[in-house]
């Protein structure tokens, strides 16, 4: 089998790890080993794990102008230790003072929000529940799935189209007054798809955080005489994401010698668990995988009428539409995370930001959450890989994974104490849906015309820039059985009772490792990747499909 990212068949020359120490036999927290990571005589292997320049397939790479917030911003980004997004500057909503407003607009940008800690109480656990290891337990293994940091817009996104519309209007008598006066001199300054300076910082700091929290697990690699393998995809922002995370985790330049970064090709028609939409053909079909996009657009058509009337009264030679309202809100988000400040932010009211947030909620809930007919299928690849790592068995090759790995410990090691995979926000959400973590989506399917606040799903909590899904495997002597597991999303512990059969209520969110693995294996059997991704069926927004395609009477597998 050809391994993506290497470009040639695996040969006998590959390094064998067959004699590596199993995870179950590795030293756990409390080990008395005096060895220091990295182990002697280990090094990064550039032949087995080639760099970005060799792998190729970087995707779109357009760099924007250099930021100049010291000149463009109206306030300074003092680091007061409470905002968590230094050095970004986000004004208060329209009509509010930035000095008195407690409404943080950055938390209402859906997948364009910088990640922030979510309390476990949002999903039904007590305020005392913490991501810290419960008293009396030791951590033995960590699994991390995380998203890249803040980036420029994707190619052809709404902000660039809006900029072209404004530029065209300036040739035919365009005039702007009041809050929109700045548009007379405004030009589009964003690149496309690459990480922004702030985005690079997010993944670096995430690496620092996880070294601080879990660095002790590196002792296991010392015991093996090995270094970790971290994975990512070939798009430029994804490679840089893994590098920045590794730099934060291991240090600079130490990370260059202390971790092998495995790059999987991301390209249309090439399958890998980190980019499943490249082969799941139903993902982009309007009546199947993109019903959320349609629902969000329909909602936006009537959500900003009052603000649009105000903004249109301040311009001539152009008329702003609901599509333009979303574009300007996205410019607020993108310019802030790219340039440090955006004049578009204070054009919109608090209610506008609440509607903007719900626009993203609809899109992600029905495109990649439980309201999608293809999300579980797209998350199945990572679910298979997680279960493979949990059980130290190679996943069975099937269409959801068939070229992501080889049953070879060089590229899919089963004995690591720390795993870290970088991917995209849609894939993180697909994976959470495949894991069937229903507390994240608890309640009625999202209303298509207004936010009824009857569901726990909020896009900015689950799919922001640098979002991360953490699995802790623990040894807890006070429990029977002693091997336990729990799931954490952006610092929120996710309860498993009522969701996973056999998991009783636990204030720390713990459940027996073997029981969780059994539930996940059953879930794998439920997800029919081929049908959900390739069958001819019709789905509609307004339904909770649990991430699975409906079985219409006339559905066929094409």
Q: Report the alpha-carbon distance of residue 26 to residue 20 in Å, rounded.
A: 10
pLDDT tens digits, one per residue of 212-225: 999 999 999 999 99
Neighbour-count burial of 185, counting CB atoms closer than 10 A to its CB (0-12 exposed, 13-18 middle, 19+ buried): exposed
Average pLDDT, the chain: 88
Mean pLDDT along residues 428-444: 98
Q: Return the sign of the alpha-carbon dihedral for residues 150, 155, 159, 164.
A: positive
pLDDT tens digits, one per residue of 233-253: 999 999 999 999 999 999 999
Q: Report the alpha-carbon distance of residue 465 to residue 152 in Å, rounded.
A: 11
Q: Are the beta carbons of 457 and 360 closer than 8 angstroms?
A: no
Q: Are the beta carbons of 203 and 148 closer than 8 angstroms?
A: yes
pLDDT for 98 equals 66
- Nearest residue to 119 (alpha-carbon basis) of 106, 111, 128, 109: 128
pLDDT for 403 equals 60
pLDDT tens digits, one per residue of 70-91: 545 566 555 555 445 778 877 7
Q: What is the CATH number of the domain that holds 217?
A: 3.40.50.1240
Locus of tokens 């279960």:
387
Is residue 154 included in any domain, yes or no? yes
pLDDT tens digits, one per residue of 381-415: 999 999 999 999 988 776 556 465 667 888 899 99
> CA distances (Å), 489 to each of 214, 253, 479, 505, in order?
16, 30, 23, 18
> In terms of residue numbers, what domain contains 188?
17-514
Q: Are the beta carbons of 57 and 235 closer than 8 angstroms?
A: yes
Is residue 153 included in any domain, yes or no? yes
pLDDT tens digits, one per residue of 5-27: 333 333 333 333 333 334 444 44
pLDDT tens digits, one per residue of 96-138: 876 667 899 999 999 999 999 999 999 999 999 999 999 999 9
pTM of the model: 0.88
Of the two residues 359 and 20, the one the predictor is more confident about is: 359
| 350-367 helix and 291-300 helix, angle to the nearest 10 degrees | 160
Question: What phi, psi does 462 have (nearest 5°)?
Answer: -110, -30
- Nearest residue to 230 (alpha-carbon basis) of 62, 413, 361: 413
Give 526's pLDDT tier (boundaries 50, 70, 90): very high
User: Residue 362: which H helix or E strand, with range?
Assistant: helix 350-367
- Nearest residue to 177 (alpha-carbon basis) of 310, 33, 38: 310
Is residue 547 included in any domain, yes or no? no
pLDDT for 89 equals 79
CA angle (509, 510, 513) in 5-degree steps: 145
Q: Report the alpha-carbon distance of residue 488 to residue 430 in Å, rounded.
A: 16
Q: How many domains does the chain have?
A: 1
pLDDT for 77 equals 56
Mean pLDDT along residues 325-343: 96
What is the chain's Cα-based Rg? 24
pLDDT for 405 equals 65
Is residue 174 included in any domain, yes or no? yes
Of the two residues 9 and 549, the one the predictor is more confident about is: 549
pLDDT for 279 equals 92
Q: Are the beta carbons of 246 and 230 closer than 8 angstroms?
A: yes
Is residue 545 included in any domain, yes or no? no
In this predicted structure, the answer to whether residue 63 has a pLDDT above a threshold of 90 is no
Q: What share of the chain is helix, strand, coil (3-state, %, to 5)?
A: 35, 10, 50
β-strand partners of 195: 151
pLDDT tens digits, one per residue of 278-331: 999 999 999 999 999 999 999 999 999 999 999 999 999 999 999 999 999 999
pLDDT tens digits, one per residue of 527-540: 999 999 999 999 99
Is residue 189 included in any domain, yes or no? yes
Q: Are the beta carbons of 512 and 481 closer than 8 angstroms?
A: yes
Q: Return the sign of the alpha-carbon dihedral for residues 547, 485, 467, 442.
A: positive
pLDDT tens digits, one per residue of 132-166: 999 999 999 999 999 999 999 998 899 999 999 99
Is residue 124 included in any domain, yes or no? yes
Q: Are the beta carbons of 377 and 400 closer than 8 angstroms?
A: yes
Count of alpha carbons within 13 angstroms of residue 151, beta-carbon side: 27
Q: Report the alpha-carbon distance of residue 164 to residue 412 in Å, rounded.
A: 46
Q: Report the alpha-carbon distance of residue 87 to residue 84 in Å, rounded.
A: 9
- Nearest residue to 214 (alpha-carbon basis) of 456, 416, 454: 416
Mean pLDDT along residues 195-210: 95
For the chain, how far is it from start to end, CA to CA, in angstroms?
25
- Nearest residue to 359 (alpha-carbon basis) of 406, 442, 297: 297
In this predicted structure, the answer to whether residue 261 has a pLDDT above a threshold of 50 is yes
Is residue 1 included in any domain, yes or no? no
- The DSSP secondary structure of 261-326, one letter per residue, reads EEEE---TT---TT-GGGT-GGGG-TTTTTHHHHHHHHHHTTTSHHHHHHHHTTEES----HHHHH
pLDDT for 18 equals 33
pLDDT tens digits, one per residue of 439-487: 999 999 999 999 999 999 999 999 999 999 999 999 999 999 999 999 9
Give 52's pLDDT tier (boundaries 50, 70, 90): confident
């Amino acid at each position: 089998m050809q391994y993506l990212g290497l470009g040639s068949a695996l040969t006998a020359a590959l390094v064998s790890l067959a004699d590596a120490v199993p995870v179950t036999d590795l030293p756990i927290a409390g080990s008395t080993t005096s060895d220091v990571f990295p182990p002697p005589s280990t090094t990064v292997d550039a032949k087995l794990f080639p760099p970005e320049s060799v792998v190729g397939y970087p995707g779109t790479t357009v760099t924007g102008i250099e930021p100049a917030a010291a000149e463009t911003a109206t306030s300074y980004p003092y680091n007061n230790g409470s905002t968590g997004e230094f050095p970004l500057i986000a004004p208060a909503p329209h009509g509010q003072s930035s000095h008195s407003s407690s409404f943080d607009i950055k938390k209402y940008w859906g997948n364009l929000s910088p990640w922030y800690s979510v309390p476990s109480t949002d999903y039904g656990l007590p305020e005392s529940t913490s991501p810290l290891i419960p008293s009396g337990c030791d951590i033995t293994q960590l699994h991390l799935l995380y998203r890249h940091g803040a980036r420029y817009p994707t190619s052809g996104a709404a902000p660039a189209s809006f900029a072209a519309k404004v530029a065209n209007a300036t040739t035919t008598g365009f005039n702007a007054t009041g809050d929109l006066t700045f548009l007379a001199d405004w030009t589009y300054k964003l690149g496309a798809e690459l990480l922004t300076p702030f985005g690079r910082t997010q993944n670096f700091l995430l690496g620092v955080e996880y070294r601080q929290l879990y660095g002790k697990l590196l002792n296991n690699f010392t015991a093996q005489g090995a270094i970790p393998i971290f994975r990512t995809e070939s798009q430029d922002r994804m490679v840089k994401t893994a590098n920045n995370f590794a730099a934060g985790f291991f240090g600079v330049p130490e990370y260059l010698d202390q971790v092998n970064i495995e790059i999987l090709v991301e390209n249309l028609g090439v399958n890998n668990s980190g980019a499943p939409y490249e082969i799941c053909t139903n993902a982009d079909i309007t009546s199947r995988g993109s019903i959320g996009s349609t629902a969000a657009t329909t909602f936006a058509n009537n959500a900003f009428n009052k603000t649009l009337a105000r903004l249109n009264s301040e311009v001539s030679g152009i008329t702003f539409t609901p599509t333009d309202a979303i574009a300007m809100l996205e410019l607020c988000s993108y310019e802030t995370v790219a340039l440090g400040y955006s004049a578009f932010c204070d054009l919109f009211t608090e209610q506008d930001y609440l509607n903007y947030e719900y626009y993203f909620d609809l899109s992600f809930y029905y495109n990649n959450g439980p309201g999608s007919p293809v999300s579980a299928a797209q998350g199945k690849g990572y679910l298979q890989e997680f279960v493979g790592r949990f059980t130290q068995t190679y996943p069975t090759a099937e269409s959801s994974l068939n070229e992501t790995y080889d049953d070879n410990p060089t590229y899919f090691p089963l004995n690591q104490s720390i795993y870290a995979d970088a991917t995209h926000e849609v894939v993180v959400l697909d994976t959470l849906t495949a894991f069937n973590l229903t507390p994240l989506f608890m309640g009625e399917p999202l209303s298509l015309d207004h936010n009824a606040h009857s569901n726990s799903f909020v896009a900015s909590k689950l799919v922001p820039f640098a979002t991360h899904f953490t699995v802790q495997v623990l040894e807890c002597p006070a429990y029977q059985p002693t091997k336990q597991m729990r799931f954490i999303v952006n610092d929120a512990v996710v309860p498993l009772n009522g969701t996973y059969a056999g998991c009783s209520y636990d204030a720390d969110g713990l459940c027996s490792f073997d029981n969780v693995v059994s539930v996940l294996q059953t879930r794998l059997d439920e997800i029919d990747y081929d049908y959900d991704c390739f069958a001819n069926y019709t789905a509609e927004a307004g339904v909770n499909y649990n991430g699975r395609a409906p079985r219409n009477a006339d559905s066929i597998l094409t």
